[in-house]
Amino acid sequence: MPIPTHEGGLHEQGKLGVDQGYGGVARALHWTIATLIAGMYITDWMRSGAGRGSPERIWWLSAHESLGLLVFALSLGRFLWRLTHRAPLIHGTLLLRRTAEAGHALLYLATLGLPLAGIGRAMSGGADVVFFGLTVPSWTGRNEVLSSIVGFLHGGLVMNLLLALIAGHVLAALWHQFVHHDGTLRRMI
Ligand code: HEM
Ligand code: HEM
């Protein structure tokens, strides 16, 4: 049965044309944020490999915080863009589409929520937050209760769950492209 797409045209369900891609802004933001997310893990990895209290360790944490705040700003812009612009219809059965929507919603939540938890993690330890040379002093001072909450929200377990979510997202994109040949990956490139 033909169904209206988010673009306003009529298409047979699950057989959307590959021309219905994301716009330039959505694509640029998607790939910039995806690259920055890789940067978040790399900067954290470099920080944890540097000696405790060393200038290198502080530098890598500052880089981590600066890039993370950039992720937040871009994700906020991306979210607002998404609210005000149509996205192409997702391919597949209802269950598949709902799963993809839930996955995308979780990715938005992660790119907006994790930076906030990161600010909390720095500040609740009494430390300043750095944004490309600009320093914002801790609003909370040392706060054990807050620290244990944001320590969990911005900790290893949640970060590994994000990695699993991204892996699932990438595998889904590759599956669409190479098994289903429905052009899903192409419309984000
Ligand atoms: C999407 C954005 C972000 C991602 C994916 C991310 C990722 C990570 C990861 C993987 C860790 C190591 C967690 C652990 O093993 O305990 C970490 C730690 C940390 N992150 Fe982030 N981060 C992000 C944004 C931020 C932001 C915006 C800030 C602060 C402004 C921040 C501050 C911190 C701090 C203070 C730590 C702990 C460092 C330490 O142990 O001394 N992060 N982050
Ligand atoms: C190599 C890595 C990645 C690939 C190949 C990829 C691929 C794609 C593709 C093909 C779509 C479009 C899906 C569709 O048309 O139904 C998409 C959407 C999306 N991706 Fe990725 N992605 C990658 C990494 C990431 C990362 C790291 C994030 C965020 C942490 C992310 C967040 C999103 C979100 C939120 C959407 C939904 C966009 C919307 O409809 O508003 N992606 N991705």
Query: Is the predicted pLDDT of residue 30 greater than 80, yes or no?
Result: yes
Closest Cα to atom 17 of ligand 1:
44
Can you give the pLDDT at residue 59? 98
Tell me whether residue 103 is in a domain: yes
- Asked if the model's pLDDT at residue 17 lies above 70, the reply is no
The CATH number for 122's domain is 1.20.950
170 lines ligand 2 (CB under 6 A): yes
pLDDT at 90: 87
pLDDT confidence bin for 117, thresholds 50/70/90: very high
The pTM of the whole model exceeds 0.85? yes
- Evaluate whether residue 11 is within a structural domain: no
Give me the count of residues in the chain.
189
The pLDDT of residue 140 is above 80: yes
Pick the atom of ligand 2 nearest to 87's CA: 40
Domain count along the chain: 1
In a domain, residue 39? The reply is yes
Residue 10 in this model has a pLDDT that exceeds 50: no
* SS3 of residue 110 by DSSP: helix
92 confidence band (pLDDT: 50, 70, 90): confident
pLDDT > 80? residue 2: no
CB of 169 within 6 A of ligand 2: the answer is: yes
- Cα of 135 from ligand 2 centre, angstroms: 32
DSSP annotation string for 143-177: -HHHHHHHHHHTSHHHHHHHHHHHHHHHHHHHHII
Residues lining ligand 1, CB < 6 A? 37, 40-41, 44, 61, 64-65, 68-69, 71, 111, 114-115, 118-119, 121-122, 129, 154-156, 159
Residue 1 forms part of a structural domain: no
Q: What is the pLDDT at residue 145?
A: 98
- Is residue 89 assigned to a domain? no
Between the two ends of the chain, the Cα-to-Cα distance in Å is 29
Taking residues 95-100, what's their average pLDDT? Answer: 95
* 27 is a domain residue: yes
8 Å CB contact between 21 and 186: yes
Residue 70 CA to residue 92 CA, distance in Å, equals 34
By CB neighbour count within 10 A (0-12 exposed, 13-18 middle, 19+ buried), where does 37 fall?
buried
Is 13's pLDDT higher than 90? no
- Which ligand places an atom closest to the C-alpha of 120? 1
CA 116–ligand 1 middle distance (angstroms): 10
| Residue 7 forms part of a structural domain | no
Q: Which domain holds residue 79?
A: 22-83+94-188
